[in-house]
Amino acid sequence: MTTIRPHDAREIISGTHGDPFSVLGMHENTQGVSVQAFMPGASGIDVLDPETGKPVASLSPVPDADGLFAGDIAGRTGRFPYRLGFRRDGHEWVADDAYRFGPVLGDLDEHLIGEGAHLRLWDVLGAHVLTHEGVAGTHFAVWAPNARRVSVVGDFNGWDGRQHPMRRRGATGVWEIFMPGIGEGEAYKFEVLDAHGSLLPQKADPFGFGAEHPPKTASVVRALRGHDWADGGWMAKREALHRIDQPISVYEVHLGSWKRVPEDGGRPLSYHEHAQQLVGYVKDMGFTHIELMPVSEFPFDGSWGYQPVGLYAPTIRHGTLEEFRAFVEACHAAEIGLILDWVPGHFPEDLHGLGLFDGTPLYEHADRREGFHPDWNTLVYNYGRREVANYLIANAVYWFREHHVDGLRVDAVASMLYRDYSRKDGEWVPNVHGGRENLEAIAFLQRTNEAVYADTPGIMTIAEESTAFPGVSTPTDAGGLGFGFKWNMGWMNDTLSYMAEDPINRKYHHSKMTFGLHYAFSENFILPLSHDEVVHGKGSILDKMPGGGDEKFANLRAYYGFMWGHPGKKLQFMGNEIAQGAEWDHDSSIDWHLLDHLAHRGVQSLIRDLNALYRATPALYQQDCKPSGFEWIEENAAEESLFAWVRHAVDGSPPVLVVSNFTPVERRNRRIGVPTSGHWIERLNTDASEYGGGGRGNLGGKDSEEIAASGRAHSILITLPPLSTLFFELRRD
């Protein structure tokens, strides 16, 4: 007769046993085989033949161990498949025994996990719907090296962590269990006992592919496999579209507030609705890419997604994982690239999240001077721990591999690069050399860029980096961080500061518009007018413009023209393109009703036309990142607050002259030097009547004259409307 040691029995029924597979399930012994099973409150458990459903044996209750049963199987000499029949409180049911199944993880997986080198880490950790040893179910695996016991809990076991404790795998600290009969849509968490046997708050799965609707916090089983992607055409050509010599114009979006449905309580749109409405709008407006503020699952709406808990789960706020993939496909069908904001810089302390995951600072630093962000009251990843770096790097690869996204914009890079970021003396720990640079974070960012560019050709990574850290978009083999592009925060700050000045004072701040050209080609820059500029009391972009009424809109149109003529790729946050008057509110829709007014509709038309001009004109994008693509014509006309420059292509396409007048004074017969003689066509004028301007211009273009101006032998005589930007292209017959 099989016996269970009293010590093992006590730990099984109390849920404290560190190796439940050594007790539960089927075991061979000198007399044949035995089965041990645990079901709290059960009055009886039978071993059943899985084919016939008939009892093979009835298990006996273990004395003084409620719910624990054991018994020998007569006439059997080897392991065999079986099911269990349970009886409790007058109810009967049948289920497969999770403890009869062997491990799923292999030795190679464990080796790579231990080395922190498993770039497909999501394939082995998390919850995976699969068939194991001929039975359908879900395999769960989680890293918790300092835990005494880890269990999977859910409705399937009454959220009772005693019922399904997991198998510990070697020295890696990974726990796993195959749960037969569990499938798509099942909510679950991990219940963890720390090394001292104390029960921790239940944890969401760090690798969960789905989550419950907030404020609920459980993970949800979502099948990754089986999606039949239909975007092969886009995927084959996107690499050519992401080079620095291509037009890239990005529309930044917060999915929760781009558009809402007033007829349905003001709810945000679903992924399916965005696939139709947002994608169609972006296509019509001529943007090349959509950039989504973070869609990795997050608990607090007010964080806008920048405090994520489920890095591997597209937020359920707009639909399921499969519906998110359908949105990605809709973008690609419209030939629009999709960029996601990615947040490896910090994570919140929510009890169900990564903080103190196994009772120890596993993902974060133990020292709060290294592991806590004072700006956001969040935790900081321990980038120097190989398993943590692996978790994050694999996540970057995951979004490209599994969801076909085209780019990641890495948030708050500056906060990662410097140990003293936003900290006072004594609140930070120097690096091993005594310096302020976070060497581990730098190495992590380099490894991430190396991994994603090597794994998935054609993608792009973008850094939001607000300091002058060198080589952000320089390849790692040349000592850089390896990003494809960097947001030009200096350009944004300087030019918005200039535009906020009363035009009469702008001549004293002229250098704010020219200084950016001193470093414009030091990185592969994107010019951002992002969400950060229209929140926290900053007002809207329109609100930053001086003057009233028409003058405010004219300033805005001239500024947008200046931006599209300036070297660098473009980014506009939603609402900027319709001259939203109010500051962005994440709980409300964009003020689409403003398009009933000509001034707002005119700005929208201008952005549409600027995108069209930009994409159709090689001189405006081919050398965005090279000094040979830019030539000052009028750099020092401070008294007139006038700027003029030429953009050059490399493929023989005509050059483009851009002229901006940032005073409310019309300048008739202003002579501007040009690098080449010929007829200069007026391609776009921000003062055009269809944009809400005064309709003043140059009758379609001007012929050059052999009259020296601006240091050039030839020039054109033009009218510069007040507060305007004009584009002229040399006609080549």
User: Which residues belong to the active site?
Assistant: 411, 464
State the burial class of residue 199 (Cβ atoms within 10 Å of its Cβ: 0-12, 13-18, 19+): middle
User: How far, in Å, are 19, 93, 334, 464, 609 from residue 62 at the CA level?
Assistant: 19, 21, 65, 61, 79
Rounded (to 5) percent helix, strand, coil in the chain: 30, 25, 45
Q: What is the DSSP string of 367-388?
A: SHHHHEETTTTEE-B-TTSHHH
- SS3 of 701, please? strand
Q: What is the DSSP string of 623-672?
A: TTT-GGGEEEEEEEEGGGTEEEEEE--SSSPPPEEEEEE-SSS-EEEEEE
Q: Is the link from the previous residue into 215 a cis peptide, with omega within 30 of 0?
A: yes
User: How far, in Å, are 4, 71, 96, 99, 370 from residue 29 at the CA level?
Assistant: 13, 12, 22, 17, 53
Contact of 116 with 386, CB cutoff 8 Å:
yes
Q: Report the alpha-carbon distance of residue 122 to residue 397 in Å, rounded.
A: 10
Contact of 155 with 188, CB cutoff 8 Å:
no
Q: Dihedrals φ, ψ of 32, to 5°?
A: 135, -120
Helix spans in 501-547 (H): 511-514, 541-544
Q: Which of 538, 529, 616, 626 is nearest to 582 (CA)?
A: 538
Q: Dihedrals φ, ψ of 65, to 5°?
A: -145, 80
Contact of 49 with 56, CB cutoff 8 Å:
yes
Task: Say how many Å lie between the first and final Cα of the chain, rounded.
Answer: 99
Residue 360 has a CB neighbour count (10 Å cut-off) of 15
Contact of 348 with 297, CB cutoff 8 Å:
no
Contact of 305 with 411, CB cutoff 8 Å:
no
Q: Dihedrals φ, ψ of 94, to 5°?
A: -125, 140
Q: Report the alpha-carbon distance of residue 407 to residue 399 in Å, rounded.
A: 9
Q: At what angle do helices 386-403 and 439-455 cross, to 10 degrees?
A: 30
Contact of 241 with 343, CB cutoff 8 Å:
no
Residue 245 has a CB neighbour count (10 Å cut-off) of 16
Q: Dihedrals φ, ψ of 382, to 5°?
A: -85, 85
